[in-house]
Amino acid sequence: MKPNAMSKINYPESYYAASANTAPARPALQGDVEADVCVIGAGYTGLSTAISLLENGFKVVIVEAARVGFGASGRNGGQIVNSYSRDIDVIERTVDARQAKLLGDMAFEGGRIIRERIAKYNIPCALKDGGVFAALNEKQMGHLRSQKALWERYGHKQLEILGKDDIRRVVATDRYLGGMLDMSGGHIHPLNLALGEAAAVESLGGVIYEQSPAVRIDRGANPVVHTPQGSVKAKFLVVAGNAYLNGLMPELAAKSMPCGTQVITTEPLSDELAKSLLPQDYCVEDCNYLLDYFRLSEDKRLIFGGGVVYGARDPADIEAIIRPKMLKVFPQLADVKIEFTWTGNFLLTLSRLPQVGRINNNIFYSQGCSGHGVTYTHLAGRILAEALRGQTERYDAFASLPHYPFPGGHMLSVPFTALGAWYYDMRDKLGI
């Protein structure tokens, strides 16, 4: 959805929007302003970058097309999941040892940044510790054992392999053979995290303009971002719109594709039922290529998500897609009402690794979290801020990752990707 000069875009009718903390409606940009850095997008990437820059003395202005956290940052499953959408072992096979070590060491930093920000800026967002990867077959259990050894090699020790009896004490279903518990994982109310980070930006002197889509960029020694009723002239520009750039920078769209994921939320469950489903109140995601994920909200609703729509079309009936998935895990919820359904877009890359880089030396970007954005975006903000301060080692480790266009360009990227997803989905179902 692309706002025009007269429209105002509010949050989708999600559970997160309905339960969001009180936050001000920030004004649209009127007139011309200047800053050291202009950030496009008030999602996690933009907010994290702004906080890191402001903490280091930069003057920062954020322009947001809709509301703070309007995109994936305010619609996701709310799970703090470590590493990247492609794990460190894939990176080790792709790059040299030094670069792999840098990227591996950073794979667990995003979750730490989230907790640091929550504590430092007093952000109320229902943080709970503990995330579970749930295996449906022996092949997936073998992968989890290898993943545990891999992560421990990079110093990440808060892991426990769960056998069949162990996982039944974590999630009340016969669906899973076992799993892995990561106590440094966890879950949050994602929109409230974004709203709290926006308040942190403003407490540090940053300025956020909502309902201010970037409609044009003048590139040059001092780039200028134009909105319908104003402009920001800056020394540096950070593009942090991910799947919601709406064609603003065609070169960033060439090697990525927006995808939609769907989420449903039940009515509040009784304390007894909620406790029986997830006794430890951990969040859970399965190990399938097209994975399902779920957790309990602060008011004891089950939030359940899954499915991917390539090309980011909104399905006509989200409940019809996701409710059967929920009932495969928890058939005991057959009579429970679904009160909220929504969809949100994330940006997929062919490698499923994030894309980081710069254009004309003063326009920086990060995009393409490929479904692993909650933690990565917070890391991205820190490394982009480091690069703007002249500390480029960690930024360069991401910027030099190889990326390729989707086969067939944009016309064929959706069917080719859907075909590939079908292949992996069939492998998951067959356990091969």
pLDDT tens across the length of the chain (432 residues): 444 445 789 999 999 999 999 999 999 999 999 999 999 999 999 999 999 999 999 999 999 999 999 999 999 999 999 999 888 999 999 899 999 999 999 999 999 999 999 999 999 999 999 999 999 999 999 999 999 999 999 999 999 999 999 999 999 999 999 999 999 999 999 999 999 999 999 999 999 999 999 999 999 999 999 999 999 999 999 999 887 788 888 888 777 777 888 999 999 999 999 999 999 999 999 999 889 999 999 999 999 999 776 665 677 899 999 999 999 999 999 999 999 999 988 778 777 789 999 999 999 999 987 778 899 999 999 999 999 999 999 999 999 998 777 665 554 444 444 444 433 344 444 454
Residue 153's domain spans which residues?
147-187+258-348+413-432
Give the CATH number, domain containing residue 168: 3.30.9.10
Q: Tell me how far apart the alpha carbons of residues 291 and 108 are, in angstroms, rounded to a whole number.
A: 21
Q: Tell me how far apart the alpha carbons of residues 359 and 354 are, in angstroms, rounded to a whole number.
A: 16
Q: Tell me how far apart the alpha carbons of residues 291 and 289 are, in angstroms, rounded to a whole number.
A: 6
Cβ atoms 392, 401 nearer than 8 A: no
User: By three-state DSSP, how is residue 358 classified?
Assistant: strand
Same domain, 20 and 162: no
Using the CB atoms, write b or e for 125-145: b if 16+ within 10 Å.
Answer: bbbbbbbbbbbbbeebbebbe
Cβ atoms 104, 147 nearer than 8 A: no
CA distances from 397 to 86, 169, 242, 418 (A): 15, 40, 20, 30
Same domain, 59 and 107: yes
Same domain, 264 and 251: no
Is 134 among the domain residues? no
Q: How many domains are contained in the chain?
A: 2
Predicted local confidence at residue 430, as pLDDT: 47
Cβ atoms 269, 328 nearer than 8 A: no
Encoding tokens for residue 140?
């997936």
Cβ atoms 218, 226 nearer than 8 A: yes
Is 137 among the domain residues? no
Is 406 among the domain residues? no
Predicted local confidence at residue 313, as pLDDT: 63
Eight-class DSSP state of 289: S
- Helix 373-388 with 44-54: angle, nearest 10 deg: 40
Predicted local confidence at residue 259, as pLDDT: 80
Is 133 among the domain residues? no
Is 425 among the domain residues? yes
Q: How many other CB atoms sit within 10 Å of the CB of residue 90?
A: 15
Give the CATH number, domain containing residue 49: 3.50.50.60
Same domain, 430 and 323: yes
Same domain, 428 and 309: yes
Which stretches within 298-345 are classed as H helix?
318-329
Beta-carbon contacts of residue 314 (< 8 Å; ≥ 6 apart): 260, 343
Same domain, 60 and 163: no
Is 327 among the domain residues? yes
Instruction: For the chain, give the longest Cα–Cα distance.
Output: 63
Which stretches within 80-222 are classed as H helix?
88-94, 97-106, 109-120, 138-153, 164-168, 190-203
CA Rg value for the chain: 21
Is 140 among the domain residues? no
User: By three-state DSSP, how is residue 429 classified?
Assistant: helix
Cβ atoms 225, 237 nearer than 8 A: yes
Same domain, 59 and 4: yes
- H-helix or E-strand containing 414? helix 409-430
Cα 418 versus chain centre, distance: 21
Predicted local confidence at residue 406, as pLDDT: 64
Q: Rounded to two decimals, what is the model's pTM? A: 0.92
Is 141 among the domain residues? no
Give the sign of the dihedral formed by CA 297, CA 301, CA 306, CA 308: negative
Q: Tell me how far apart the alpha carbons of residues 383 and 402 are, in angstroms, rounded to a whole number.
A: 18
Same domain, 4 and 67: yes
Q: Tell me how far apart the alpha carbons of residues 239 and 359 are, in angstroms, rounded to a whole number.
A: 10
For the chain, helix, strand, coil in percent to 5 are 35, 25, 40
Residues in the chain: 432
Same domain, 246 and 376: yes
Q: Tell me how far apart the alpha carbons of residues 217 and 227 are, in angstroms, rounded to a whole number.
A: 9
- DSSP lists the bridge partners of residue 39 as 62, 238
Same domain, 175 and 244: no
Same domain, 301 and 360: no
Same domain, 90 and 226: yes
- DSSP lists the bridge partners of residue 80 as 186
